[in-house]
Amino acid sequence: MQRYFTDAPLTRGAQVTLDKDIEHHAVTVLRMDIGAEFELASAGQAFRVRIDAVKPLTVTVIEPIDRNVELPVAVTLVCGLSKAQKPEWIVQKGTELGATTIYFTGSQWATVRWQQDKVGKKLARLQQVAASAAEQSHRNVIPTVAFLPQLTDATKLAADAKLVAYEESAKEGETGALVQTLHANPKRLVAVFGPEGGIAPAEITALTAGGFVLAGLGPRILRTETAPLYLLSAISTLTELLG
């Protein structure tokens, strides 16, 4: 069933009028009519709703949808910059796989930089990608996309578990850090991923001094846009399939 997000507060039985973007998609693109039902999520809770009128699009909230689709750990990804469409891919796939917050960040060895005056526009575009991916994957919340000027700013983020996906750890055969971290049942986990140029030793030192643990994500070398997807899938496997 189609899902949309709204800022309107929703409660069972309430009647709400939705904004023009949703009206256009539901009524003009999908040709939904009076009596048709869809899903509407607001403030982390989804509801089944039924159309009362199409112009303006007005619905009655029928009932909450109780199936929980959110990961039991709120995962914040901090991703070094990468070329071309890769940030969009990270946001789209990261949203499908359950991320809560996705930061992009400048770093010492990055081969890509975001000019300061373009950050706002890039984030707005990526936030839209997150919104559509959240609708399509029936998330209850839209992940927040934001920017950190420096990778080591990750040490300032609040979390009760902190990991760095580090290629050198993977090469040395490190396999226990992620599993061990999740055994402690963290509520909020921050994971840092280097840019295409890798993470500089000084950055690794600052991160470990800030409480970050170096983690290998299996023995294969993963590209910068693949590692966050492995991490989210691994967290889902350990907490939702095994948990």
Of 178 and 207, the one with the shorter C-beta distance to a second copy is 178
Sole residue written with tokens 């809560």: 100
Sole residue written with tokens 């049942």: 185
Least distance (Å) between residue 74 CB and a second copy: 15
Least distance (Å) between residue 55 CB and a second copy: 30
Of 121 and 183, the one with the shorter C-beta distance to a second copy is 183
Least distance (Å) between residue 102 CB and a second copy: 15
Of 203 and 225, the one with the shorter C-beta distance to a second copy is 225
In the numeric block, which tokens belong to residue 37? 């039902």
Of 57 and 131, the one with the shorter C-beta distance to a second copy is 131
Least distance (Å) between residue 196 CB and a second copy: 11
Strand-pair category, 45-54 with 37-42: antiparallel
Which residues are at the interface with a second copy (CB under 8 A)? Answer: 67-69, 93, 96-98, 136-139, 171, 173, 175-176, 178-179, 217-223, 226, 229-230, 233-234, 236-238, 240-242
Q: What is the DSSP string of the chain?
A: --EEE-SS---TT-EEEPPHHHHIIIIIIS---TT-EEEEEETTEEEEEEEEEETTEEEEEEEEE----S-SSEEEEEEE--STTHHHHHHHHHHHTT-SEEEEE--TT-S----GGGHHHHHHHHHHHHHHHHHHTT-SSPPEEEEESSGGGGGGS--SEEEEE-HHHHHTT--SHHHHHHHT--SEEEEEE--TT---HHHHHHHHHTT-EEE--SSSPPPTTTHHHHHHHHHHIIIII--
Least distance (Å) between residue 179 CB and a second copy: 5
Of 84 and 158, the one with the shorter C-beta distance to a second copy is 84
Of 19 and 172, the one with the shorter C-beta distance to a second copy is 172
